[in-house]
Chains A and B, each alone.
Chain A
Amino acid sequence: MKEISLAEYKANPTEIREEREAELKPYGGLEKFEGQGTIYPVYDRPGIKWGMSVDLNSCNGCGACVVACNAENNVSVVGKPEVLRGHEMHWLRIDRYYSGDMENPNVVFQPLMCQHCDNAPCENVCPVAATNHSSEGLNQMTYNRCIGTRYCANNCPYKVRRFNWADYTGADSFPDNQEGIVNDVVLNMNDDLTRMVLNPDVTVRSRGVIEKCSFCAQRLQESKLNAKKESRPMVDSDLKVACQQSCPTNAINFGNANDKNSAISKVRVDNPNRQFYVLEQLHVLPNVTYLAKVRNQDEEKKEGAHA
């Protein structure tokens, strides 16, 4: 997490970049990190390369993205007893980081979803290759190949992978196996009528498999096909992923990072001084960039004095 005050940012706009540079210096610095941070060869990534950027300056932590993600991707609602056990299924969560006064802290919100790492630690540990990389830079889950060893979830430094601990959706072929799972809240995906809320474009996951953010693969596919039907290259306006679509402050940008004219490329080019990756030093090469929050502390103080 990176945060900086406006005064500091004005005094030295490249501070965050310098911090990253210093951290990666032993491994070739920012420029050569991808090649020198590893003993493995580096591959070209031509064609489409999906990327996301989240501007933490804009994010106000409203949580609309989480809800949108749940609705779009048929993410199971598991109910309070399961959440208490750390079994929530959210593909997208909002991390909060606090600073300052304990009683009245400053908060930074950080929506965190699968980072679709180019060098994903989850992929190489799966014994059956159920999670693997697409040619478009997606870290994809093959549900019907997954046997549920949970090794990928253990090895994810962002902890964004979710395991179906029980038959939350009635999608399982085992009869009468929802003991203690179905309650008023969970019923929404289990009863014949309410199952109609489910998105038909998205697989409902059965018990015992891992799931996680897919970058709304169904929407990406649709946008590519639409462009293809019209015999033109895909452009930004063809698609919006669910979290991006629902964000009231437009904090989330998404698109083809290999396309120089796409919004995501522009955001990345325009904001070199605020841009960072979460846990960049691990060399997992995430495809989600974050733009650091710049906080105007002088003004906040003034507001505090008025109040």
Chain B
Amino acid sequence: MHLKYESQLREPLVYGDKNYHQVTEDIVRPIEAKPTRLWYIGFYIAVCLLLFGVYAIYRDVTYGIGQWNLNKTVGWGWDITNFVWWVGIGHAGTLISAILLLFRQGWRTGVNRAAEAMTIFAVMCAGQFPIWHMGRVWMAFFVLPYPNSRGPLWVNFNSPLLWDVFAISTYFTVSLLFWYSGLLPDFATVRDRAFTKLRKRLYGVAAFGWTGSTKHWQRHESLSLVLAGLSTPLVLSVHTIVSFDFATSVIPGWHTTIFPPYFVAGAIFSGFAMVQSLMVIIRKVFAMEDYITMGHIEAMNKVIVLTGSIVGVAYLTELFMGWYSQNKYEGYTFWYSRAYLFSPYGWSYWGMMACNVLSPQIFWFRKMRRNIFVTFFMSIIVNIGMWFERFVIIVTSLYRDYLPSSWSVYYSPTIWEIGFYTGTFGLFFTCFFLFAKYFPVIAIAEIKYVLKTTGEGYKGRMDKIEGESLETFVHDHAH
């Protein structure tokens, strides 16, 4: 007989003496209740930001990319900075859902649903930038390798931008499938509790006819494993390919072999920070402290200090190589354009250093890792720092490259560039608010799965039984 029992020393993953029904009640309650005033205010702000973003894009498409302050030297600025930033954020969701599933990390169940939702919305936001930053967005379908009557004229398989198209679309598809397949049993739960016909219909359609039969569960488990297997390489490959946009070029500051691992670490770093920001709010607003516990927050803070230190090492390695290579162009980019505080963009480099490398080091202290306010504050700081990192990589490399005659005037964004960025915030939070209202924000079925082995109540009861021998236990509990 398989009997998994966890040590009393390990923190329970679910607090409170709960049974299955209570878990359902706790998680489904926000879906069945009327939205709060706070929800309406938040949703309203998000939609306003989104609409402003739509207007900013309308201007960019109608009047041209000249609505932005990019120029002949700085061809990418906020657009690609924001693209890389959002894609990076998505990575934490995939890591939590796929890699932690394969590693059998029980704690993922408390946060994986919301983290995967974050991934999907973040990738949606990221995708906006490479699309709308095109000069002729109405010709964007040229990047798809479809059979055509122009020769046929194919896409350029040498181009990292094309690899991006494949990487991002694969990533989005797999993440969406993974997320949705996990949602099926939970939608069925909501459907079965529905108190109006409309709810029953809508959640019934969303649940794809899930009945909870053993066969369903067996297939569901297999599918989860297969999708986890597919997602795992994506955690590494997607941001590696994004880093190729820069690493395969000839521009000093971009042409760097360290980029793939450094980008992946940075992506996980920023992603976990975003998960923290969202979780701290969700657990408070929906009173889900029992499910998203201090243990969760501490575990994620550990990931943050680890990945933050990895990017720190990468920054220092770049600086070292800028000197060691004795390449005057790289030396100039790394030691003047970036690391020299009083160069035009020095502030962004040191902002990055302060936010990404120095400040997360406070998470070496257990007290700090378990402090909600510090966690929330740091999660924002880290995301600001990671935005700086992408800005530093893109703009400080481009604005002064080889020939001084083409060095750029100081690049700062127009209101429409900023509007596009805030518009993606609007998109993200509009989606997230809808998700929080209509979807179970915690995976109900998966929480139930770990409840028996690692819930606080069960742990307490198991403690008593632990004294008994296994045989007596089996004898007593077997019918």
Contacts and interface: CB of A to CB of B under 8 A. Distances in A.
Please indicate whether A and B come from the same complex rather than being unrelated chains.
yes
B64 interface: yes
B457 to A, nearest CB: 56
Interface in A120-156: 121, 124-129, 145-151, 153-155
B216 interface: no
Contacts of B65: 148, 150, 163, 165, 208
A228 interface: no
Interface in B45-75: 62-66, 69-75
Contacts of A154: 75-76, 249, 251, 398
A127 B139 CA distance: 12
B405 A112 contact: yes
Contacts of B139: 147
Contacts of A84: 409
Interface in A76-108: 82, 84-88, 93, 95-96
A68 interface: no
Contacts of A161: 72
A177 interface: yes
Interface in B384-401: 398, 401
Contacts of A150: 65, 70, 75-76, 133, 135
Contacts of A153: 72, 75
Nearest to B141: A147
Contacts of A124: 156, 158-159, 248
Contacts of A129: 153-156
B162 interface: yes
Interface residues of A, number: 50
Contacts of B158: 124-125
A129 B160 CA distance: 12
A177 B64 contact: yes
A128 B155 contact: yes
A161 to B, nearest CB: 8
A147 B72 contact: no
A128 B135 contact: no
Contacts of A93: 405
A179 interface: yes
Nearest to B163: A127
Interface in A191-230: 206-210
Given A125-B249, A208-B65, A159 B73 contact: yes
B408 interface: yes
B136 A208 contact: yes
A149 B398 CA distance: 15
Interface of B: 62-66, 69-76, 130, 133-137, 139-140, 142-143, 153-156, 158-162, 165, 245, 248-251, 398, 401-403, 405-406, 408-409
Interface of A: 82, 84-88, 93, 95-96, 112, 121, 124-129, 145-151, 153-155, 157-159, 161-167, 174, 177, 179, 181, 206-210, 278-279, 282, 284
12 contacts: A87-B66, A112-B405, A121-B250, A124-B156, A125-B249, A126-B156, A147-B139, A153-B72, A157-B250, A163-B65, A163-B72, A167-B63
The 8 closest A-B pairs by CB, nearest first: A148-B135, A208-B135, A86-B71, A165-B66, A159-B406, A150-B75, A129-B156, A166-B66
